[in-house]
Amino acid sequence: MNNTQRLVYGLVITLIIFAIATIAGRFLSLGSDFFPDSVITHTVMLTFSVAVIISLKKIVPFRIAWPRFRTILKPAFFGLLTAIVINILLTALTLATGGKAEAHPLLEASTPLQTFLFIFIYASLAEEMLLRGFLQNILSPLSVRGIRVFRQKLSLPVIISAVVFGLIHLILLTTGASGLFVTRIVIFTTVLGLFAGYYQEKHNNFTHAFVVHMAGNLMGLVAAFY
């Protein structure tokens, strides 16, 4: 399989899994006050992502391991910093242009415990498994190409997985969220994805991408409690 085929194959499978998961979440319901319907979306996403990673293990070099504590400090820091800086800047810009501050639809509909379990942990795991666990890893042969930002290399797989991660959040437009809010989420998730992908690639460990994502969701968790 050449690099062009990998790119097409990876993008098509990623979008198919995302579409199936989204449709399942919209049309299926658990009928539970505790388990939100988003659990269906993320369960389908996680299940299919793990399935394709295992079935394509010869071309998807997925690796997960318990990290050394000192190696997760920077990923956690930059994930949290991204959330703070991007959200403050874009919220200020939204208010300055006459828009109104909005909360993520999932956060608005969740209790603090639900936010912790199903957004901070479960959504982070499911989304990272699809975007970094599958997509970025299947594109790993393309990592010889990329760009340098502040002397750090961002490889093509890192950039592609981050951009796709950001763009899939355009689905929030179907929830009634404003265009400004969705733009803010797309920018935030794209930047967060760059850090998640960078640290996964640097340490060859999916755990680092997961840590970045959870750190990026930490502000939402704190907001849910306060």
Q: What is the pLDDT of residues 139-196, one digit of tens each?
A: 999 999 999 888 889 999 999 999 999 999 999 998 888 888 888 899 999 999 999 9
In this structure, the number of other CB atoms found within 10 A of the CB of residue 168 comes to 19
Distance of CA 36 to the CA centre of its chain: 19
Buried b (16+ CB within 10 A) or exposed e, 45-59: bbebbbebbeebeee
Q: What is d(CA 18, CA 48) in angstroms, rounded to the nearest whole number?
A: 9
Q: For 54-92, how does the pLDDT look when each residue is reduced to its tens digit (9 = 90+)?
A: 999 999 999 999 999 999 999 999 999 999 999 888 888
How large a percentage of the chain has pLDDT more than 90? 67
Give the span between the Cα atoms of 97 and 218, in whole angstroms: 27
pLDDT at 223 over 70: no
34 against 130, higher pLDDT: 130
Task: State residue 1's pLDDT score.
Answer: 78
Q: How much is the pLDDT for 224?
A: 61
Return the structure tokens found at 216: 């990026």
Q: Evaluate if residue 52 carries a pLDDT over 70.
A: yes
pLDDT band at 226 (very low <50, low <70, confident <90, very high): low
Whole-angstrom distance, CA of residue 93 vs CA of residue 214: 25
CB 187 within 8 A of CB 90: yes
pTM attached to this predicted model:
0.93
Q: Cα–chain-centroid distance for residue 105? A: 16
Task: Provide DSSP, 119-159.
Answer: IIIIIHHHHHIIIIIIIIHHTGGGGG-EEEETTEEEEHHHH
Express each pLDDT in 94-144 by its tens digit. Answer: 888 777 777 777 777 778 888 899 999 999 999 999 999 999 999 999 999
Average pLDDT over residues 194-221: 94
